[in-house]
Homo-oligomer: A and B are copies of this chain.
Amino acid sequence: MEFAPDATTTELVQQLESFMDEFVYPAEAIYDAQMEERIGVWGPPPIIEELKTEAKKRGLWNLWLPGEAGAGLTNVQYASLCEIMGRSLHLAPPATNCAAPDTGNMETLHLFGTDEQKEQWLKPLLAGEIRSAFAMTEPAVASSDATNIETRIERDGDEYVINGRKWFISGAMNPNAAILIVMGKTDPGAARHRQQSMILVPRDTPGVDIQRGMKVFGYDDRDHGGHAEIVFTDVRVPVTNILAGEGDGFAIAQARLGPGRIHHCMRAIGIAERGLELMVRRAADRVAFGKPLTDQGVIRDWIAEARVKIEQLRLLVLKTAWLMDTVGNKGAHTEIQAIKIATPKTVEWILDKVVQTHGGGGLSQDFPVAEWFAQVRTLRFADGPDEVHKNALAKREIAKLTARA
């Protein structure tokens, strides 16, 4: 269990921090201004492309990707970098091609795609030329239970025909999100976890009706392509578009969840750290009733609690990363659930205090805190609500401890 940054990580952290200091943080105001001008326009503002160019030039690209195609980092190595990127949530991850859901989609294509699928979709994704979306959640059912999925993928000769309704498909409002990975049922009569399949659906396929962007609190998240509601009506794709094979959908979903979750958690820790900094600075700047807010006992209590919580959380995320590196995603199953349970709740608690220290400003567009809160809040039901994960984790704990008795 070795968590300390090694030489590679230290080196990359320095490079990434330089990039953040020189390019990303200064670009935040530009980003805000461009976003203000782009109301109703889906997709990233121009500054993101500029940052991508710079990041690529510096080799800060696809850092999340293990093996030769990417930076070849372990999860522990990537953790420190991902946390730093979380500090500028809207800019740093897309700038370095490390943003969800593309990372998960690229990983899925990398692991399960055919050579043709990789050539057509993985290659431009790795190059940052197109983006992608992952269509799983449905409005009509509790999607945390995969057997509830109602979208159908039916074979008809050399084609699959897709019918169904999805929502909260992040990124899909972006016209440049060229490819959708769609989860549906190929065989509703099969065993519980063999009913589902995943299939590649180009966004411009006839029958794909991208109806509207779902909001999160009041945010449309238009910079990264929002959260689409999509209706699939008799959408036809060639049979070669299936990922792995029929019935593999649940297994693929499980495989992508591990990295997806840990990246979310790493970024959330970056948010918490930057939030804590904002809180302390604001409190140091404001005077009420004759002393700066940093002299108020209650605010100090928040600061101390925040620090103590962050430290524990980061260690759990690092341990999980280390387990994924050493025993694999399956061996790290409990820990992956644990960070999914612990992280959003903890960071939400901290951000609530950051807001409170800022007063009205803390919820406004002048600070990033309310938007962070919205993002982190969604993590409490992304990939299934925490309650489902807690139930599953408890079942394993019960099995383990009663077996030992």
What number of copies of this chain does the assembly contain? 4
A392 to B249, CA, bound (A): 40
Say if the beta carbon of A377 comes within 8 Å of chain B: yes
A366 to B294: give the CA distance in the assembly, Å: 36
Cα distance A39–B220 in the bound complex, in angstroms: 13
Does A361 touch B at the CB level, under 8 Å?
yes
Interface flag for A22 (CB, 8 Å): no
**Stretch from A113-121, A153-161, A334-342 at the B interface:** A334-342
In whole angstroms, what is the CA distance A313 to B313 when docked?
9
Interface size on A, residues (CB 8 A): 91
The residue from B39, B303, B305, B365 contacting A398, defined by CB atoms under 8 A apart: B303
A287 touches B148 (CB 8 A): yes
**Chain A residues close to B by CB (< 8 Å):** 1-4, 39-40, 137, 139, 141-145, 148, 167-168, 214-220, 227, 276-277, 280-281, 283-284, 286-289, 293-294, 296-301, 303-305, 307-308, 311-313, 315-316, 319, 334-335, 338, 341-342, 355-356, 359-361, 363-366, 370-371, 373-374, 377-378, 380-381, 385-391, 393-395, 397-398, 401-402, 404-405
- Enumerate 20 A-B pairs (CB-CB under 8 Å) in ascending A order: A141-B286, A142-B293, A168-B360, A214-B365, A214-B366, A216-B363, A216-B370, A217-B219, A217-B374, A280-B402, A288-B388, A294-B402, A298-B301, A307-B334, A312-B312, A312-B342, A315-B316, A315-B319, A356-B381, A363-B377
